[in-house]
């Protein structure tokens, strides 16, 4: 088999793993009733003329299970950080205390837990779509290789490899969703 007929399975696997890593980041940003520094990851603050993540403007700590504390380094940024958190839609009201911003994490009610479980399912579905898109790209590579002279046996082997990768990653998404939904619904 010539090199131009090889399918880059490593690249396909890397792209699928990238989709999984993005899902893990999205899941980490979902509030589950327990304090986590990752809930602030998607929030950007207009600082010094550009959008900046909160963790680049101060130290984020979780001193107790229901409290996130941000120690903002520049006192002039405290009000901007507070405003960004309020407007982010994460449902937490920041409390300024000198250079510290305290974020008390409220208890989740049953309705909010169900909403978060649906959001998690949406994130998982988007990840499955991304994985299937990578699969489609891999299958397109195989079709191009077939027109370039790849044999049917090789084509079948590569198709099976790409499908196996896809199946494994879809199963990982389903497992991660199940774990996250259990975490969300836990009182």
66-96 pLDDT, tens digit each: 889 999 998 888 999 999 988 876 778 899 9
User: Do 16 and 47 lie in a common domain?
Assistant: no
Task: Inform me whether the pLDDT recorded for 175 exceeds 90.
Answer: yes
Locate all alpha helices (DSSP H) within 30-151, ordered by sequence: 78-87, 110-147
The residue to which tokens 């010094």 are assigned: 48
Q: Do the beta carbons of residue 173 and residue 131 sit within 8 Å? A: yes
Tell me the pTM. Answer: 0.68
CATH number at residue 157: 1.10.132.20
Of 124, 97, 89, 102, whose CA–CA distance to 35 is shortest? 102
Domain boundary among 58, 83, 104: 104
Query: Span 120-145, mean pLDDT?
Result: 93
User: Do 55 and 118 lie in a common domain?
Assistant: no
Give residue 128's pLDDT band: very low, low, confident or very high (50, 70, 90). Answer: very high
């Amino acid at each position: 088999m010539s090199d131009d007929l090889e399918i880059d399975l490593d690249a396909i696997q890397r792209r699928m793993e990238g989709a999984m890593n993005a899902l893990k980041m999205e899941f980490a940003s979902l509030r589950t009733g327990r304090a986590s520094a990752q809930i602030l990851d998607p929030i950007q603050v207009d600082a010094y003329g550009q959008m900046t993540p909160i963790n680049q403007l101060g130290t984020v700590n979780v001193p107790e299970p229901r409290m996130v504390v941000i120690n903002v380094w520049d006192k002039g940024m405290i009000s901007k950080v507070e405003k960004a958190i309020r407007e982010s839609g994460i449902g937490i009201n920041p409390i300024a205390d000198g250079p510290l911003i305290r974020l008390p994490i409220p208890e989740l009610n049953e309705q909010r837990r169900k909403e978060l479980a649906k959001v998690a399912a949406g994130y998982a579905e988007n990840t499955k779509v991304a994985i299937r898109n990578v699969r489609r790209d891999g299958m397109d590579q195989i079709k191009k290789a077939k027109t370039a002279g790849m044999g049917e046996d090789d084509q079948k082997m590569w198709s099976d490899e790409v499908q196996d990768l896809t199946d494994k990653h879809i199963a990982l998404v389903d497992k991660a969703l199940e774990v996250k939904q259990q975490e969300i619904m836990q009182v």
